[in-house]
Homo-oligomer: A and B are copies of this chain.
Amino acid sequence: MGSNENAKQNAPLRSLAPGERFCGWYLLKQAQNAATGGGKPYLNFRLTDNSGELPGKFWDYAGPIGAGDAGQAVWASGRVESYQNAVQLSLDDLRLADGQDDVDLRRIIPAAPYDAGQMLAYVERTLQGLADADYRAVCLALLERHRDAFALLPGAKGMHHAFLHGLLMHTANMMRQADFLSKLYADVIDRSLLLAGTFLHDIGKLAEYSTTALGLVSDYSREGMLLGHIFLGTEEVGEAARELGIPEEKRLLLQHLLASHHGRVEFGAIVLPKCAEAELLAGIDMVDSRMEIYRETYADTPTGQFSRQKVYGLNNQAVYRPETDPSQAGGTGEQS
């Protein structure tokens, strides 16, 4: 792993200064194999961790790592240099993490701002408590099958919840909402169906993305591109329900909730919602996605100002962060 004496290990990228030596686990954001005018191979790359991002070069490097490895966690060691007033890295070692390595992903990749273990426990506890044994069985079977990937996966590629445990956080939040609303609209909503559909709604994303050895999303998978997560989830839930022998109507309703949960065909829904639980699930998904985009946008927007950029997921508009910051206000004490 190169000469690492005196090297700072796993130091935040932002803390590195020209002249220092370093080594540690980082995320390889980009990589391009290139050659000098004289024909010598080298690697152009960018590393990131939660503190920032730095460019660099690995001279006389001819592979095996290249463009196809973007999105992987890597072990990198080398020296920090200065070039045209900017900091860049010069490597003497680089290799991909594999399943053996003990990499602390939370140091190099953004993660959900809540405790993943507690969120997972809440989800499981809620599913175990579903009144309807059929819906409960399907949910627990699929949780069992996918537990680790489900707990780790980001919620979306780019749009919202694009961080570790994002899918779990999105799902858990939606289940809390579904729980509340199933009571508010108890005369039309079957709580077991709604909660089961909410838990399962994005299960197809596990197949829609390609993931690296460490479980990071690197791209859409072939089946994700050709069939889409809505189809993939609806198909898998149908198959699981058939295996468990649950009644046909319940299987169809559960599949219908997944198939329609984007609410409009131009957003990818296979069919439009045709029962109250399907309609409500589509509404909950919309609300939770939008609130998360606001949370992420506000994090980069000073109070009393508009976001610097138009936000694609918010109707492509600049949005306003009010002067009063509710997360500071604390004034949510009184309620009826």
Q: Which of A176, A180, A183 has the most CB of B within 10 A?
A: A180
Query: Given A177-B184, A185-B291, A252-B223, is A322 in contact with B283 using a C-beta cutoff of 8 Å?
Result: no
Q: Are A184 and B188 in contact (CB under 8 A)?
A: no
A192 interfacial by beta-carbon distance below 8 Å? yes
A326 interfacial by beta-carbon distance below 8 Å? yes
Query: Given A256-B226, A265-B265, is A181 in contact with B188 using a C-beta cutoff of 8 Å?
Result: no
CB distance from A195 to the nearest CB of B (A): 9
CB distance from A300 to the nearest CB of B (A): 13
Q: How far is the CA of A252 from the CA of B84 in the complex (A)?
A: 47
Tell me which residues across on chain B come within 8 A of A36, comparing CB atoms. 85
A272 interfacial by beta-carbon distance below 8 Å? yes
Q: Are A186 and B226 in contact (CB under 8 A)?
A: no
Q: Are A226 and B239 in contact (CB under 8 A)?
A: no
8 Å CB contact of A279 from B191, B239, B291:
B291
CB distance from A296 to the nearest CB of B (A): 10
Interface 1/0 per residue, A307-336 and B, CB below 8 Å: 000000011011111111011010111111
Q: Are A332 and B239 in contact (CB under 8 A)?
A: no
Chain A residues touching B, range: 35 or more
Q: Are B294 and A326 in contact (CB under 8 A)?
A: no
Q: Are A320 and B187 in contact (CB under 8 A)?
A: no
Q: Are B275 and A322 in contact (CB under 8 A)?
A: yes
Q: How far is the CA of A182 from the CA of B228 in the complex (A)?
A: 27
- Nearest chain B residue, comparing its CB with the CB of A260: B226
A231 interfacial by beta-carbon distance below 8 Å? yes
Q: Are A279 and B294 in contact (CB under 8 A)?
A: yes
A5 interfacial by beta-carbon distance below 8 Å? no
Task: Of the listed stretches A55-63, A124-132, A138-146, name the one at the interface; the rest are far from the partner chain.
Answer: A124-132
A104 interfacial by beta-carbon distance below 8 Å? no
CB distance from A187 to the nearest CB of B (A): 4
Q: Which of A227, A272, A295, A333 has the most CB of B within 10 A?
A: A227
Tell me which residues across on chain B come within 8 A of A185, comparing CB atoms. 291, 295
Q: 30 A-B contacts, Cβ less than 8 Å apart? A: A122-B336, A129-B335, A179-B335, A179-B336, A187-B295, A188-B326, A190-B322, A225-B306, A225-B318, A226-B252, A226-B255, A226-B259, A226-B271, A226-B274, A226-B320, A230-B270, A231-B231, A231-B259, A234-B235, A235-B235, A265-B268, A270-B270, A272-B315, A272-B317, A273-B314, A274-B317, A274-B318, A279-B290, A280-B291, A283-B287
